[in-house]
Amino acid sequence: MKKITFLSIILMSVFYANAQSDKLVEDGLFKVNLLAPGVSYELGIGSKTTLNLEAFLGFALNGGSDRETNFGLYPGLEADVRQYINFDRRLSKGKNISGNTGNYISFLNQLQFGTPIIGNLEYASDYYYNVALVYGLQRTYKKGFYFGLAFGPGVFVNEYNTDAGILIDVRLGWVIGGRKK
């Protein structure tokens, strides 16, 4: 019985070590976004799969020459599951994949609140929820600078309407602590 337990532990250790070595995504990336000020954390959950969680501030400005100018900063949350699709091709060409540099497909969810935390411009709806299936790319450079672009068909929901359209999401910022690989 001891031999079977010992052999089982050794086999499980080999499978665990092999599963860990096949992981191509970073274990975790903490990113600061400049365009829509916010922070995100991208957690590696599979060989080429990550879970990206983000908190951001949206900005709106409404005004003109014949009326009062109003503005608002609106809190928002985003979550998406990313499946990176070109890591093998990038590696075969000798290109970089560190910092999850690659192209991906994703199921993206965004929630933005309609009441500003700063400013006096209130939206008609209390919330805006977007869900989309997107194609995206992310590039992370040696000093930690990164940019991302994602776009695809989506559904946009608020208290009063449900509409379909194209979601475009642009990110520009830094990976805190630099690339890990």
Instruction: Give domain limits for the chain.
Output: 23-175
- What DSSP assignment string belongs to 84-104? E--HHHHHHTT---TTT-EEE
Q: What is the rounded average pLDDT of the residues 28-41?
A: 94
b/e code 44-81 from CB counts within 10 Å (16+ = b): beeebbbebebebbbbbeeeeeeeeeeebebebebebb
Q: How many Å separate Cα 100 from the centre of its chain?
A: 11
Q: Per residue in 98-149, pLDDT tens?
A: 999 999 999 999 999 999 999 998 888 999 999 999 999 999 998 899 999 9
Q: Give the lowest-confidence range in 23-32, 56-65, 163-172.
A: 56-65
The model's confidence at residue 178, banded by pLDDT at 50, 70 and 90, is: low
Output the pTM of the full model. 0.80
| pLDDT at site 83 | 98
pLDDT of residue 7 exceeding 70: no
